């Protein structure tokens, strides 16, 4: 069972209104995504050492309630869609102490060689393809 990622909001992440600036949620998504992939056994370091990168194609973030300095958010990240060439990762951020929903988001990615050519994990890295497919199917079975 994979663990959710937790982040404690830092003072420097806040804006003049005393809440976390919206751009930081995107950074937290990346932290959670890197952690998810490490836990799955196909982290970014291993992928890059194998000559594969997974750039961000798109980000969508829906802010539901504010995070303030000192709050800790639990970020549940999961593979929402995966087809061997592209994937979408979903994120749900909740306040650890109250459980209140703070943000729902997703990021879309593809797989490329380090020189920018598309890669099919199914064809070139079947062990990773299987991990991504299993994670995607497992989350689909939960009904998100």
Query: Concatenated DSSP letters for 91-102?
Result: EEEEETTT--EE
Q: How many domains, in total, are found in the chain? A: 1
CATH of the domain at 133: 3.10.129.10
- pLDDT for 143 equals 56
- pLDDT for 119 equals 96
- pLDDT for 88 equals 97
Low-confidence spans in the chain with pLDDT less than 70: 140-141, 143-144
Residues facing 108 on adjacent strands: 58, 88
Q: List the domain range (segments joined by +) for residue 111.
A: 5-141
- pLDDT for 20 equals 97
CB atoms closer than 10 angstroms to residue 48: 12
Burial of 115 (0-12, 13-18, 19+ CB in 10 A): exposed
- pLDDT for 138 equals 82
CA separation (Å) from 100 to 9, 64, 91, 96? 15, 9, 14, 8
- pLDDT for 51 equals 96
Where in the sequence numbering do the catalytic residues fall? 15
């Amino acid at each position: 069972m994979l663990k959710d990622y937790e982040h404690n909001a830092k003072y420097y992440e806040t804006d003049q209104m005393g809440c976390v600036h919206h751009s930081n949620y995107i950074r937290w998504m990346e932290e959670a995504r890197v952690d998810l992939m490490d836990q799955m056994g196909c982290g970014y370091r291993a992928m890059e050492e194998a000559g594969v990168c997974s750039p961000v194609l798109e980000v969508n973030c829906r802010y539901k309630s504010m995070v303030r300095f000192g709050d800790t958010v639990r970020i549940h990240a999961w593979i929402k869609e995966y087809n061997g060439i592209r994937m979408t990762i979903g994120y749900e951020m909740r306040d650890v102490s109250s459980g209140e929903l703070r943000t729902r988001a997703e990021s879309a990615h593809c797989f490329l060689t380090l020189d920018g050519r598309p890669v099919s994990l199914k064809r070139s890295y079947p062990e990773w393809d299987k991990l991504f497919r299993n994670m995607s199917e497992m989350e689909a079975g939960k009904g998100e």
